[in-house]
Every structure is written in C-alpha cells, then in structure tokens.
Structure 1
Amino acid sequence: MKPFKELTGIAAPMDLINIDTDMIIPKQFLKTIQRSGLGKNLFDEMRYNDDGSEKADFVLNREPYRHASILIAGDNFGCGSSREHAPWALEDFGIRCVIAPSFADIFHNNCFKNGILPIRLPEETVNALMEKADRGQNAMFTVDLERQVVVDPDGVEISFEVDPFRKHCLLNGLDDIGLTLQKGGAIDGYEAARAETAPWVTPDAA
C-alpha cells in the first residue's frame, strides 16, 4: 500500500449527502477482484450519459477537478453496501483523501485499508472548505497527516483527529497484509517449531 504522509492538490466539492457505495462504484463493476482500472467508472451513473459521453455539469468532468486528489462531500459519505471496490475506485481515480462531516463505518474502515485518509470535520467547516474548493485551480489544499492538519487555500490550518494505529498504518503504507508480514519472523519460527512437534499437521514438513 502506498504510504500517506502529506498530500497537496485540487479538492473537488461534492455538495451531496448520503453518497452511497453504489453511487461511488455501481454494482455492474464489482465483477473484478483487481484494485486497478476502476477509476474510469468512479461515480459512473453521475458522470456519464447512457451513450458513454461525459455529463458536462458533473464536478469530476470539469477542469481542474478531473485531476482532484481530495474530495469534499456531505454527511454520511460511503453509506450503503460494504463493497471494498468503492475505495479502490476512488484511489484508482487519484482521490487519496475524503473530507466529510461523517462516514459510514465500514467504508471508513475500508479507506484506511486501501491508502485513503477519511477526515471527519464539523459540517460548518466542511461547507466553508467546499466554498473555497469552488475557486478551482486557485484552490490548492494540503493534508498533512503527521501534523494532523488540513491547510486551506488561504493558509488556514484545520486540525483533525485520527486513530493513532490507523495513522501509523497510513504513514508507513501498511495494509492488513503488510501488518502480517511485519511478523514474518515470528510466523516462520512458529511454523518451523510446529513442523518438529506436530509433523502430521504440517504437510510440507516431510
């Protein structure tokens, strides 16, 4: 997993509440188990017409937001089904941080497991950030995970809270597999001892 330390980029304002995971990545794109390639289908039904052409009024189809790395959205982001494809699609598009007043719990957890930082801020603060994001190319935001601050285009720093363990994992690029591999020595030692003491349950021991 790619580490997350500091991110500076364009923030796309999406002033909608209850953006569910089917809106983020519709069900017809869930057949793949690959984490790459889903970015083109992010917000597919909101982003494209039936003939495949782009909807000109959708934020991610407009400059400079088609290059956004931060998404600012309304309350209850990521509600609906628990599909992990939702953060996969966001990350593949280039979104590494989502700022909202609240998130659905499973989506919130899945973000951390896939290198995306979900930041909860008060609704009035989120609304103010959306207004500043409307400046487009002139609105660059910085998210500093180590210092736990969002720096808006005017240089104002907004502090946010993050679980220390999840912060550690993002800073070091550790997903569940990475955390397990950190214990590789202990696992190998256990397997070696198990092969000696109980070879009948260790098929490869022979």
Structure 2
Amino acid sequence: MERFLRLSGGVAAMPGANIDTDVIMPKAFLKGIDRSGLADGLFHDLRFDAAGARRNDFILNRPGMTDTRFLLAGPNFGCGSSREHAVWGMLQYGIRAIAGTSFGAIFSDNAANNGLLLLTLPGSDIALLSDMLDDGAGQWTIDLEQERIEIADRIIRFDVDPAARQALMLGLDRIGETLTHAAHIRAFEQAYFASNPWLAGPAGG
C-alpha cells in the first residue's frame, strides 16, 4: 500500500448527499476477475453520457482537474452496496483522501483496508473548505503526520484513529499490519500447541 505522509494536489467538491457506491462504481465494471481498469469506471455515468461522450460539466472532466487527489464530499458519501471496487477505483484514479461530514459504514471499512484516507469533519469546517474553493475546485495539502489540511493561508485540523493513521503512514494494509506481529503470533502458536499437543495432529504439526 502506498504510504501517505504529506500530499498536495487538486480537490474537487462533490457536495451532493448520499452519493452511493453504485454511482461511484457502476455494476458494469464489477465483472472482471482482477482490479484492472477500475479507474475508467469511477463515476462513469457522471463522467460520460449514454453514447460515451464526456460530460464537460462534470467537475472531474473540467480542464485542469487531472491532478485531483482529494474530494470534498456531501453527507453519507459511499452509502449503498458493499462493493470494494468503489475504493479500488478511487485509488486507481489517483484519489487519496475524501473529506466529509459522514460516510457509509462499509465504505469506511473498505477505505481503511485499502489506504484511502477518510476525514470526518464538522459541518462548519466542510462549509469553510467549500467556501475557499473556486467553483468547486482548488488545491489542498494534507499533512497526515500533523493531522491538518492546508488551503491557502488557512489550516483545518482533523483527528484520525491512531492505528489507521499509523498504517497509512507506514503503507501497511491489514495483512501487512498483521505481519508486523508475526514473531508474537508464532510464539503464541508454539506455546499453545506445547500446552495442547493433541491439537497439533498425530505428526506433531
């Protein structure tokens, strides 16, 4: 998983409430046997019309939005189905963090498992961040170590669960995080089987 320490890039505002995972990643892009090509599916029906032409009025299709790394989202972003593809598509597209007042519960778990930073902020901070954008777009720096968003001459503070923050800063997914405890796991396993040898099987393991 790519480490997240301090990152600068474009931000796009998507203030609509209840943008669900069906909108984020339409079902047509769930058919593959791997994760490839999911960046093409991200917000596909908002980015393109029925004939496949780009919708120039959609914020991510505007000129100058190719470096978008952050979203400023409306309430309950990521609600709906449990499809992890929504998070995978975000990361493949280049989105590394989303700020909003609330997120879908399963989407939040999927984000934490894959290194997508979700920042839950009070409505007043979201309003301030929105007011500082130019027609819904702008530039942010997110410093995860200092737990702050920097925009122009303002700083917005945030809190992230310490374990999730540590994993992001080290670039560890759930498996990588578990493997940091490998020595303790092996020691426990050996001690447990020594105390309960019948569980190890007839060959002693």
TM over 0.5: yes
| Corresponding residue of 1:151 | 150
Structure 1 residues without counterparts, runs of 5 or longer: none
| Corresponding residue of 1:169 | 167
Contact 1:64/1:136 (8 A) holds in 2: no
TM-score, normalization: structure 1? 0.87
Separation of aligned partners in 2, 1:199 and 1:103? 44
| Corresponding residue of 1:3 | 3
Separation of aligned partners in 1, 2:45 and 2:141? 29
Is residue 15 of structure 1 aligned with residue 11 of structure 2? no
Separation of aligned partners in 1, 2:35 and 2:5? 21
- Cα deviation, residue 30, structure 1: 1.5
- Give a deviation string over 1:44-83, Cα, whole Å, max 9, x none: 1111111211111111111222320001111110011111
Separation of aligned partners in 1, 2:203 and 2:181? 20
Separation of aligned partners in 2, 1:36 and 1:126? 33
CA pair 125-186 structure 1, distance change in 2 beyond 3 A: closer
- Cα deviation, residue 190, structure 1: 5.7
Aligned residues: 202
CA RMSD of aligned residues (A): 2.4
Is residue 116 of structure 1 aligned with residue 121 of structure 2? no
> Aligned residues: percent identity?
41
Structure 2 residues without counterparts, runs of 5 or longer: none
- Cα deviation, residue 37, structure 1: 2.3
Separation of aligned partners in 1, 2:124 and 2:188? 52
